[in-house]
Structure 1
Amino acid sequence: MEPAQPADRAPVDPPSTSDQPAVDRAGGPDVPEERSHSAVPPPAPPAARSERSPRDMAISLLVLMVPIVLLLAFYRGFLGGDQPNTVDPASAFEQARSAGAFPVSEPTGLGEGWRTVRASYRPAEDGAILRVGYVTPEGRGLQMVQSNVPPERLLPTELTDEGQPQGQTDLGASTWQRYTARGNEQALVLLQPGRTVIVIGDARDNELREMARAVD
């Protein structure tokens, strides 16, 4: 049996639920509501491709070519880049004359444009050889050889085994022998007692003849 309560005591109300924190039935108290969609960053724009038109490429090549053309023009015009290096053959002719192994003839009366590019005199088996190389006015190669080496030894060496006689030709006061030579070369040969003169190269026939007349 419960004890009797005083008559002046007010009844105690049950605690109000309005002051209690809200409770999420699913996640418990203070759990934020899940977002329905995740935040996804927008896709990055594609990198711009560098495309050069044919016109741009042509302009770039032209810009590169201009200094090259200027350098070539300077090299050819002022430095003589297209011209072969020339030498003075005087010392080779002087050595040959001083040796006295055979009569020495120096070409005279050649026209303009002939350039001497090499000259040498050296002893050889059974004699000696004077050899002078030229570039003709047409830009071809020609060589003049004077020697007292016996022709039967000299000609196979200078003309190679391909050298074959092709008949005679009169040039000035002398009669020269025409020969084929190596490759596309041809030769004129003057046979004299104690000396053989050979004019050989890929020069045209008129230039071979001009040299033969100049050295005869």
Structure 2
Amino acid sequence: MAEKKPRILQNNRDMMWSMIPLVLICLIIAGIASRCEFSPGGPSSGPVPHFDVNASLKYDAGVLGFPVRDPAVPEDWQPNSGSRGVAGSNGGGDVTTVGYITSKGRYLQLSQSEATEEALVPWVAGDLRSPTGVAPVAGDRWVEYAEEGSEPIWVTDFGDVRVLIKGSGTTEEFTELATAVDAAQPLTP
């Protein structure tokens, strides 16, 4: 029977020889699971998920108690998400939200609600913001909420519904969506 090395004679080389098989086993398992990828250029964009924005807004128009609009956005914008929620308790109400990826790869969120502007903005932004300006678009007055380090928000009031746009889009893209919302007629349930 071979004699065991005295503890003093065990060194980093012995530890390295013990670690190599463990690292190889981890790499083999990760390769089999197909969860690892070597990408020297950094991460790449995946496919945009498909979302049927027309069906979602049509459904929401039938179940929510306020007029819902389905704006005609440019054809190269891709709808990718949608949700429904309730904004705040004081002046709050139902909210329907859809999202678009613009032709430049930027995200714009469109929320429509019966909630007041004072309840809707903090619900979407996660904090209380103050208006910083006004953007006149297609005869409507869009109140701007711009804050350093945060995505801008535009809100307008159509009387029985407030419309909010938020996202990483450019001013031109915000204006395009605001114009499309203004031109859209409320959907019939």
Q: Which moved further from structure 2: 199-208 or 159-168? A: 159-168
Equivalent in the alignment of 1:154: 120
Q: 1:181 to 1:104 in 2, by over 3 A?
A: farther
Q: Does 1:111 align with 2:77?
A: no
Q: State the Cα distance separating 1:181 from its structure 2 match.
A: 5.0
Q: Which amino acid aligns with 1:178?
A: E
Q: Map Cα deviations across residues 133-187 of structure 1 (whole Å, 9 max, x no partner).
A: 1111110111000001222211111123263312112111211111115833111
2:132 aligned counterpart, secondary structure: strand
Q: State the Cα distance separating 1:100 from its structure 2 match.
A: 4.4
Q: 1:123 to 1:94 in 2, by over 3 A?
A: farther
Q: 1:200 to 1:136 in 2, by over 3 A?
A: same
Q: Alignment length, in residue pairs? A: 136
Query: If each structure's helix is expressed as a fraction of its own residues, which one has the higher value?
Result: 2
Contact preservation (8 Å) 2:54, 2:70: no
If the length of structure 1 is used for normalisation, what is the TM-score?
Answer: 0.57
Q: Percent identity?
A: 29
Q: Which amino acid aligns with 2:159?
A: P
Contact preservation (8 Å) 2:153, 2:167: yes
Kindly report the root-mean-square deviation, in angstroms, between the aligned alpha carbons of the 2 structures.
2.2
Q: Which amino acid aligns with 1:119?
A: G
Q: Which moved further from structure 2: 112-121 or 135-144? A: 112-121
Larger RCO of the pair (alpha carbons < 8 Å, separation 6+): 2
Out of 97, 105, 110, the position equivalent to 1:139 is 105
Q: Which runs of 5+ in 1 are unaligned?
A: 1-71, 73-80
1:199 aligned counterpart, secondary structure: strand
Where in structure 2 are the equivalents of 1:150-189 lying within 5 Å? Answer: 150-161=116-127, 163-180=129-146, 183-189=149-155
Q: Which runs of 5+ in 2 are unaligned?
A: 1-38, 40-44, 183-189
Contact preservation (8 Å) 1:95, 1:121: no
Distance 2:76 2:148 in 1: 25
Distance 1:202 1:168 in 2: 18
Where in structure 2 are the equivalents of 1:48-87 lying within 5 Å? Answer: 82-87=46-51
1:112 aligned counterpart, secondary structure: coil
Q: Which amino acid aligns with 1:204?
A: T
Contact preservation (8 Å) 2:121, 2:128: no
Distance 1:118 1:182 in 2: 26
Contact preservation (8 Å) 2:52, 2:79: yes
Q: Which moved further from structure 2: 139-148 or 191-200? A: 191-200
Distance 1:162 1:100 in 2: 26
Q: Which moved further from structure 2: 98-107 or 177-186? A: 177-186
Structure of larger gyration radius: 1
Where in structure 2 are the equivalents of 1:1-40 lying within 5 Å? Answer: none
1:92 aligned counterpart, secondary structure: helix
